[in-house]
Every structure is written in C-alpha cells, then in structure tokens.
Amino acid sequence: MENKKIVGKLNNLRMPPRKVSLVVDMVRGKSVNTAKMDLKFSNKRAAKPLLKLINSVESDAEGKNIKLPLIIKQIFVGKSATLKRFRAGSRGSPRRILKRTSNITLILEEDKRKL
C-alpha cells in the first residue's frame, strides 16, 4: 500500500530564498507537530509564513481523509521573480537593488513509523 501524499505551495514570498532555506532546513524530515513547535519559537522572519503553509496543508490533508500523524517528506525553496529597484549611489548615480522572492513547495506524507 502506497503512502498518501499531499502537496502545498507558497509562491512569491517576499523574502530571499537564501534566508528562507535556513528555516526550511530546520524542519525538513520532522513530524508536523514538532515542526510547528520549532517554528513558533523561532526568531527568523520566514518562520511565520512557513507555519501558515504547514497549517494550511495539514488542514487540507484532514479534508482529504489522510490519517493525521504526518511528516514533512520533502520541502524545498526556489527562486521566484526578482524586483529591481534603484537608489542613489555616489554622486547621484543610480545603483541597482535586487529584491528577491521565493517559492516554497511542501510535501506531507502519512507517518508509518508510529503505527
């Protein structure tokens, strides 16, 4: 019997992928309840949107009748569109500022270890 998986995505998160991946590495492979507790007490700014994503995918799993001890099977961060802005540099010349955004993909799976 195959494990049931559920996928959730968060697109165009207004944080650089490099900073988001620090938080994602913290929760990869953990159970959902453990990951939620870790994110609640994390000081990183990316923890809040990631917690919302996990809660959303978990409630979606409940709606699809997937049994609830869930683990984070896969989670990864990718680059999204980059916003290009300009600011005055030396002698008033324009200097480019790149405001990067992220895409997060989360895959939850039934936890067969605890049964």
Q: What is the pLDDT of residue 65?
A: 85
Q: What is the pLDDT of residue 113?
A: 73
Q: Residues 74-111: pLDDT tens digits?
A: 999 999 999 999 999 999 999 999 999 999 999 999 88
Average pLDDT for residues 29-33, to the nearest whole number? 94
54 with 10: CB under 8 angstroms? no
Q: Please report, rounded to a whole number, the percentage of residues in the chain having pLDDT higher than 70.
A: 97
Q: How far apart are the first and last CA of the chain?
A: 14
Is 115 domain-assigned? no
Give the domain CATH number at 100: 3.90.470.10
Residue ranges making up the domain that contains 40: 5-110
Is 38 domain-assigned? yes
Is 64 domain-assigned? yes
Is 40 domain-assigned? yes
Is 9 domain-assigned? yes
Is 105 domain-assigned? yes
Average pLDDT for residues 57-74, to the nearest whole number? 90
Q: What value does the mean pLDDT of the chain take?
A: 93
User: For every residue of 71-84, which 3-state class applies, written as one string?
Assistant: EEEEEEEEEEEEEE
Is 85 domain-assigned? yes
Model confidence at 1: pLDDT above 60? no
Distance of alpha carbon 34 from alpha carbon 79, whole angstroms: 27
Domain count, the chain: 1
Is 47 domain-assigned? yes
